[in-house]
Structure 1
Amino acid sequence: MQWSLRLRAAERGIWKSAQLRRMLADAGLEISAGKMSSWWAGTPPTMRLEELDVLCTVLECTPNDLMTPEPDRVAARRVRDADTVNGNGNGDDKPNGGGTGPAVSPRFGKPRSTPPL
């Protein structure tokens, strides 16, 4: 998804995240400065529907105005994920796709110890 919060805010004459944060608070949505920063600076990893509803009300827009699907990125991810599953992640033959962490192996036949009595 392409996140267009700053563009929509600019269309409403809102140029600073602090100004939008105050408007959201006036509409009943108190958010932290850190959360506002993540919304303003880039695509938020998560957003509650209630937050999206208030944001759209304040900006007089719809969720479609704030988010634009990017199907090409989804298709690219699908290909990359399929390569990783097939063992073709990055051309390395190292465990975990060449990552720095140790490989995780299952604990078959090794039950967890019981707690002390």
Structure 2
Amino acid sequence: MKWNLRLAAAHREIWKASELQRLLAEHGLVISAGKMSGLWSSTPASIKLSDLEVICVALGCEVTELMTPEPENVTRATQDEAPAARASGQAGPTPTVVPRSRGGRSLPPR
């Protein structure tokens, strides 16, 4: 995803992170200067949906204006990676459960 917060803010004549930080605080989202700097200058690794909603309300925009999909950056698993994905439970049929020997321990009473 491409993060377009600065562009969306610029369309609304907001040119500084501190201006947006004050606007978000007016809408109930208090963000530290460090977190605001991260949102302003780079793509966040994660963002709470509730925070995203406040940003959209404060800027009067839609989520699609803040984030643009970049499908060309999505890679497909190669043939070598496919077995590892299945082993981790990401794809493929469910394995059959086979009981194992209890290793000499006694069975519980019946």
Q: Flag the structure with larger Rg.
A: 2
- Residues 22, 84 of structure 1: CA spacing in aligned structure 2 closer, same or farther, 3 A cutoff? farther
The residue identity in structure 1 corresponding to 2:44 is: P
**Consecutive unaligned residues in structure 1, runs of 5 or more:** 87-117
1:39-81 per-position Cα deviation (integer Å, ceiling 9, x unaligned):
1001111100110010000110011110010000003xx35xx
Kindly report structure 1 stretches of 4+ aligned residues shifted beyond 3 Å. 82-86
- Residues 19, 83 of structure 1: CA spacing in aligned structure 2 closer, same or farther, 3 A cutoff? farther
- 1:69 aligns to what? 69
The residue identity in structure 2 corresponding to 1:34 is: G
- 1:51 aligns to what? 51
The residue identity in structure 2 corresponding to 1:55 is: I
Which has the larger helix fraction? Answer: 1
RMSD: 1.6
TM-score relative to the length of structure 1: 0.65
- Measured after TM superposition, the shift of residue 34 of structure 1 is 1.0
TM-score relative to the length of structure 2: 0.69
Cα distance in 2 for partners of 1:52, 1:15 equals: 19
Cα distance in 1 for partners of 2:50, 2:61 equals: 15
Question: How do 1:27-42 residues align onto structure 2 when only pairs under 5 Å count?
Answer: 27-42=27-42
Cα distance in 2 for partners of 1:31, 1:53 equals: 14
Corresponding residue pairs, total: 82
- Measured after TM superposition, the shift of residue 83 of structure 1 is 7.9
Cα distance in 1 for partners of 2:63, 2:33 equals: 22
Cα distance in 2 for partners of 1:55, 1:84 equals: 41
The residue identity in structure 1 corresponding to 2:70 is: E
Cα distance in 2 for partners of 1:10, 1:83 equals: 45
The residue identity in structure 2 corresponding to 1:18 is: S
- 2:10 aligns to what? 10
